[in-house]
Amino acid sequence: MIVRLATPADAAHMTTLLNAIIGVGGSTAHETPFTVEKMLSDYILPPALVCCHVAENAGKVVGFQWLGWPRNPDDPMPKGWGVIASFVAPEAAGMGVGQGLFAATKSAANTADVAVIDATIRADNVAGLRYYGGLGFQDYDRLIDIPLRDGTKVDRIRKRFDL
């Protein structure tokens, strides 16, 4: 497996991977499929970018991880905090993709002087909660009854990793 910085040339593969995860449901806060343009603007080239890495196995993108500065004015975070998002192809689960991505992300976070990384995960995303917990993220807050597009309410667990 190779972990490297994402480039615009990766956008189509990253979009396909994320849309497959969205299609399965339950493991991402994203509910609407992405376009290549949205992938570029949200994950590969956003102004708030700290880093975005992809993991390749046999020439295929099997995961990606984004770290950026908070950009939601309705959810302000303390200075020095970054926000993380991680996506691994279902067929690559358990292959060390997430650990490889986080090693690269943590290095980039240290270089960018990120003090704390926030991971906000749906409470029904058992695999995501286990992943971040296994990396050493600690619970620090819970957002109650956040509605999905269909009106279903799901809590969000907020975890932090102090660098």
Say what the pLDDT of residue 75 is: 82
Q: Do residues 85 and 94 lie in contact, with contact meaning Cβ atoms separated by under 8 Å?
A: no
Mean pLDDT by 10 residues, the chain (163 residues): 97 96 80 94 96 96 97 87 95 93 98 97 91 97 87 92 98
Q: How many domains does the chain have?
A: 1
Q: Which of 85, 83, 158, 82 is nearest to 120 (CA)?
A: 158
Say what the pLDDT of residue 26 is: 66
Indicate which CATH number applies to the domain containing 100. Answer: 3.40.630.30
User: What H or E segment, with its residue span, contains residue 147?
Assistant: strand 138-147
| Range(s) of the domain holding residue 83 | 2-162
pTM over 0.85: yes
